[in-house]
Chain A
Amino acid sequence: MFGGRVVLKVGHATFQSGAISGIIGPSGSGKSTLLSIIAGFLQPATGKVEYRDGGRLGPPTMSDISWVPQGAYLLPDRTVLDNVALGALSVGLELAVAKFTALRALEKVGLEDRGRDLASNLSGGEAQRVALARAICAPRPIILADEPTASLDRKSAGTVANILRNMPSDRLVIVATHDPLLIERCDQILDLGVS
């Protein structure tokens, strides 16, 4: 509900770890809103989000979630490596370990040679891949990605889609997208345009 108006109505949806789930729908259908609700950033007027992790059942917490926002959100005056390492530092890793983890994540997104560059010098597509690297270097079980390929060229979008596709099986990946390249790699689709 927003201003007394129903902006999103979803029946029941289940997302599985080890799979990549896509939330699709036309612009304004509530894809990003649903991601924010899953993350706990927004509270639904009715209903609830539950996350089962082994014996635990309850709403996911911030420590469960890595977020890939639409529009990167990097620290412009810091190096790419520093930005990616933030993800690992946020889960309490030591600085050296965090930087090593960040380097591995940069390799995965194909930006290992840009680690020392300032984030402000990246193109939009590179920044989006750095945001993805930041998310995957934090060992959190849920990755929520909001239009992660929106500002990428086809090659980079393919790289990002493959990275998300090949996440370890214990990770739950949910993407909000309308990119056919990413949609075709999803194991499960929630179409808000239909629901």
Chain B
Amino acid sequence: MSHLVREAMKNVFGRRSRLFPYAAAALLSSTFVVLALLAQSIDFDHEIAAAHDKGRNIFTVQSSSSDRPVVITRESCERLTGKAAVVRAGIITDRGRKNAQPLGSSIPLVAVSPTLLPQVDQGRAVVGVALHPLGAESNIVIDGVVLRAVSGLREPAGIDVNSAIAIPLGVDVVDDPRCVIEMKWNADGDDLQLALNQLHVQGGPIIAVPVFAETTSLIGGFLARSERWLPILVGCLGGLATSLAIRTRRTELAAYVFAGATRSAVATLVSLECILIGGVAAFGGVLTTLTLAPFALSPASQMFAMVAMGATWIASALPVSLQVAVVSPVELGKRR
């Protein structure tokens, strides 16, 4: 057996061997597939980011009916922050329009939970990104009151502070008719329901209104994309190409038979060659994935896909290749 392994290694990795280009092609194919999957991941990331800016997975929890008002406790709303599938949650209340120097007059003022907008923590005001930008932390004056203020970051729709000045929600606010929740990008309806169940609500039934409603599910579309079959397709094509290459080596396989190798030894040799080439595809794919892991959406699932590609490569190559091994040595020798 060990000499068959050695022979298979030489037949696949020998620089002058007929199978070497196929081993090289397996390596290149796996790199190509990883890069293609990575490009899809990056596109998907961009789609998710764009949808996030529009308010994807941000919900305003409120009464389901205007004639049946609700009160949601602030503590239960803010406490959702960081819980499973919730990025952040809190209350935003409108405080009207104010004169704010040196920013200008009639600027919207909102009070926000620090859990929803961490920049307002430590009593600072946050100047929305769409307003006049501040340099470093500086003072602003609102209705004669001096506040330390910082420039805000761009927030997605639903957390409407980009064109306003946000101040911390006062300790006197203990409840509100609305709670804003941002769920994780991959959260689903069950996750949202779980979060809603943890809110302490008085009054009529509540509803979570999405800020941005997806017409088609981005995640569903990504998971159902036909390109996800690329590793399997490449594995099939690579395996078939490998099997054809092995079949063209009839005279070489005949050399083994005439050197005394049994049919089972030739079958083992051919199988080992298929496994080595498929293994190169899988190993190359896993290695490239590990190298580019920081850019991959899910390195683990991508590595699994690469192993599946290698396995498909081997499974596609073996049946046709093994037919060579069961051919009579006389026939093997005849067909050059």
Contact = CB atoms under 8 A, between A and B. Distances in A.
Contacts of A95: 3, 6
A73 B260 contact: no
Nearest to A33: B330
Contacts of A78: 10, 14
A101 interface: no
Contacts of B330: 36, 41-42
A134 B259 contact: yes
Given A41-B330, A77-B16, A78-B10, A66 B252 contact: no
B32 interface: no
Contact of B260 (A62, A69, A76): A62
A169 interface: no
B258 A62 contact: no
B262 interface: yes
Contacts of A82: 10
Q: Residue among B3, B6, B18 with the most chain A CB within 10 A?
A: B3
B333 interface: yes
B44 interface: no
A36 to B, nearest CB: 5
B18 A91 contact: no
Secondary structure at the B interface, as helix, strand, loop or mixed, is helix
Contact of A90 (B17, B252, B260, B328): B260
A140 B260 contact: yes
A90 B261 contact: yes
Contacts of A131: 258
A75 B255 contact: yes
Interface in A35-79: 36, 39, 41-42, 62-63, 65-69, 71, 73-78
A23 interface: no
Given A66-B260, A69-B333, A90-B261, A77 B18 contact: yes
A118 interface: yes
A75 B6 contact: no
Nearest to A70: B333
A75 B265 contact: no
A91 B241 CA distance: 32
Interface centre among B7, B265, B329 (most CB of A within 10 A): B329
Interface string B247-280: 0000110111111111001000000000000000
Contact of A41 (B252, B259, B261, B328): B328
A41 to B, nearest CB: 5
Nearest to B15: A77
Nearest to A144: B258
A77 B14 contact: yes
B262 A62 contact: yes
B7 to A, nearest CB: 8
Contacts of B10: 78, 82
Interface residues of A, number: 32
A73 B255 contact: yes
Given A41-B329, A95-B6, A138 B255 contact: no
A83 interface: yes
B83 to A, nearest CB: 64
A100 to B, nearest CB: 15
Most buried by B among A36, A75, A77, A135: A75
A67 B252 contact: no
A39 B329 CA distance: 10
Interface string B293-336: 00000000000000000000000000000000000111001000
Contacts of B262: 62-63
A98 to B, nearest CB: 8
A178 B195 CA distance: 93
Contacts of B256: 86, 90
Contact of B258 (A69, A76, A77): A69
A89 interface: yes
A87 interface: yes
A91 B7 CA distance: 15
B328 A42 contact: yes
B255 A74 contact: yes
A42 B332 CA distance: 13
Interface in B1-47: 3, 6-7, 10, 14, 16-18
12 contacts: A41-B330, A63-B260, A65-B260, A73-B255, A76-B252, A77-B16, A77-B17, A83-B259, A86-B255, A89-B3, A90-B256, A91-B260
Interface of B: 3, 6-7, 10, 14, 16-18, 251-252, 254-262, 265, 328-330, 333
Given A67-B258, A83-B255, 9 more contacts: A42-B328, A69-B333, A73-B251, A77-B16, A83-B259, A86-B255, A87-B260, A89-B259, A131-B258
